[in-house]
């Protein structure tokens, strides 16, 4: 089953399992502003909350999320959700905003031949799918983790985004002195991903870093492996943002445990990772497609085709 049909099937089965009240919450108009209003901080969202679902309905909601992501990314997302209970324990249960079921699933429009969309979102998870002309896009795609890692003695017991960090360090350490100088954006890492939750990315970022095209040997291999890691969040059949003319940039410390940040930035492809908060144990990552998030390009092609027929 291709990606678009799988999403239609799993989403329709989920909506069919809801009662009328739940369905009114879950199924929203295909509205441009509503779809672009996304966040990765705690708090209620549009859509139906997971905590309001039965066990059967919850399973169907997770099947929708599994259809949106490749298996490793799905596993990361579920692990991130489980960390909400860990974070609540770390904070002494003082916050009412930490719960494994504080995630919302929204369906924009009707699953079928006309354009429609999906959003699965809550603290540190935002997965946004747009379906048009049997094409599926999946940006913005945000995953974060707090704590970034839970340690058991000298070992990491759980860290959903550890590979994203490790491969980033591998890449920056594989650069020559000259390449690292070109890649360095700042001695200090920003407090968060620079693009935050902007609804659109129309302009380019300043000081992008070192072009991947000038790298060779171990440096090129390391950066390409990092790019593949993020592209592999997308399941087969989903349109991946083209990782052409990418530049690798770094800010902050060159070793774990101290605030650090990197980006992979191209005209149609952007990755950011930031780990600075809570003693550099609170990580944010995002994949975006400048000028094409929320299916902007495939929607334009779809509507253009309709008007020319």
Residues 277 and 249 in one domain: yes
pLDDT in tens, 257-282: 999 999 999 999 999 999 999 999 99
pLDDT of residue 153: 84
Please report the pLDDT score of residue 68 as a whole number.
98
Q: What is the mean pLDDT of the chain?
A: 95
The Cα–Cα gap between 122 and 101 comes to 9
Cis peptide before 57 (omega within 30 of 0): no
Q: Does 154 fall in a domain?
A: no
pLDDT at residue 84 greater than cutoff 90: yes
Domain check: are 122 and 212 in the same one?
no
Q: Are residues 170 and 89 in the same domain?
A: no
DSSP 41-59: SSS--SSEEGGGS-HHHHH
Beta bridge partners of 107: 27, 118
pLDDT of 11 reads 98
Domain identity same for 134 and 260: no
Same domain, 69 and 118: yes
Round to whole Å and give the CA distance between 186 and 178. Answer: 15
**Structure confidence at residue 308 (pLDDT):** 57
Q: Which helix (H) or strand (E) holds 25?
A: helix 20-26
Reported as a single tens digit per residue, the pLDDT across 104-162 is 999 999 999 999 999 999 999 999 999 998 999 999 999 999 999 998 888 888 999 99
Residues 98 and 179 in one domain: no
pLDDT at residue 23 greater than cutoff 70: yes
Note whether residue 17 is domain-resident: yes
Do residues 251 and 207 both lie within one domain? yes
Question: Which residue, chain included where needed, has tokens 């975006």?
Answer: 288
Asked if pLDDT for residue 309 goes beyond 70, the answer is no
How far out from the chain centre does Cα 143 lie? Answer: 5
**Secondary structure class of 84 (helix, strand, coil):** helix
- Does residue 153 lie within any of the structural domains? no
Residue 119 forms part of a structural domain: yes
Strands 247-252 and 184-186, by their bridges, are parallel
DSSP 8-state secondary structure symbol assigned to residue 211: E
Structure confidence at residue 105 (pLDDT)? 98
Do residues 171 and 227 share a domain? yes
87 assigned to some structural domain: yes
Q: Flag whether 91 is in a domain.
A: yes
Residue 224 lies in a domain: yes
Q: What is the pLDDT of residue 206?
A: 74
SS3 letters across 297-308: HHHHHHHHHHHH
Residues 118 and 224 in one domain: no
27 and 122 in a single domain? The answer is: yes
Provide the pLDDT for residue 96: 80
Q: Structure tokens of 94?
A: 């003082």
Q: What does the alpha-carbon distance between residue 136 and residue 239 come to, in Å, rounded to a whole number?
A: 6
Please state whether the predicted TM-score (pTM) of the whole model is above 0.85.
yes
The single residue listed with the structure tokens 């027929």 is: 309
Predicted confidence at residue 250, as pLDDT, reads 98
pLDDT (tens digit per residue) in 287-298: 999 989 999 998
| Angle, CA 248 vertex, CA 283 and CA 79 arms, to 5° | 25
Domain termination residue (choose one: 111, 139, 167):
139
Q: Which residue range forms the structural domain that includes residue 126?
A: 3-139
| Weakest mean pLDDT among 80-89, 90-99, 211-220 | 90-99
The answer to whether residues 163 and 110 belong to one domain is no
First-residue to last-residue Cα distance in the chain: 28
Among 104, 139, 174, give the residue marking a domain's end: 139
Number of domains in the chain: 2
In tens, the pLDDT along 160-213 reads: 999 999 999 999 999 999 999 999 999 999 999 999 999 999 766 777 899 999
Q: Residues of the chain with pLDDT > 70: what percent?
A: 97
Residue 147 lies in a domain: no
Asked whether residue 176 falls in the same domain as residue 113, the answer is no
In this prediction, residues 79-103 reach a mean pLDDT of: 92
pLDDT at 303: 80
Residue 306's pLDDT is: 64
Long-range CB contacts (< 8 A, 24+ apart) of 147-153?
A: 147/83, 147/86, 147/87, 147/90, 147/278, 147/281, 147/282, 148/275, 148/280, 148/281, 148/282, 148/283, 149/281, 150/86
């Amino acid at each position: 089953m291709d990606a678009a049909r799988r999403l239609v099937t799993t989403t329709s089965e989920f909506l069919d399992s809801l009662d009328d009240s739940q369905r009114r919450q879950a199924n929203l108009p295909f509205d441009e502003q509503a779809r672009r209003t996304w966040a990765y901080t705690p708090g209620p969202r549009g859509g139906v909350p997971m905590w309001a679902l039965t066990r059967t309905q919850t399973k169907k909601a997770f099947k929708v999320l599994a259809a949106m992501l490749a298996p490793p990314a799905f596993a990361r997302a579920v692990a991130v959700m489980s960390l909400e209970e860990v974070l609540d324990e770390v904070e002494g249960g003082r916050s009412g905003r930490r719960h494994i079921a504080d995630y919302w699933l929204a369906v924009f429009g009707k699953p079928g031949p006309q354009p429609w969309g999906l959003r699965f979102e809550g603290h540190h998870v935002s997965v946004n799918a747009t379906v048009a002309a049997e094409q599926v896009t999946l940006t913005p795609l945000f995953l974060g983790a707090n704590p970034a890692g839970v340690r058991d003695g000298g070992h990491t017991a759980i860290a959903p985004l550890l590979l994203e960090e490790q491969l980033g360090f591998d890449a920056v350490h594989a650069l020559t002195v000259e390449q690292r100088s070109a890649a360095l954006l700042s001695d200090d890492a920003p407090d968060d991903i620079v693009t935050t939750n902007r609804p659109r990315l129309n302009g380019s970022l300043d000081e992008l870093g070192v072009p991947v095209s000038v790298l060779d040997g171990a440096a090129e291999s390391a950066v390409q492996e990092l790019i593949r890691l993020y592209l592999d969040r997308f399941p087969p059949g989903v349109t991946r943002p083209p990782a052409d003319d990418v530049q690798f940039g770094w800010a902050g410390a060159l070793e774990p445990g101290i605030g650090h940040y990197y980006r992979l930035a191209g005209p149609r492809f952007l990755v950011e990772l930031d780990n600075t908060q809570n003693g550099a144990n609170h990580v944010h990552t995002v994949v975006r497609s400048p000028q094409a998030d929320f299916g902007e390009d495939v929607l334009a092609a779809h509507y253009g085709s309709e008007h020319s027929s």
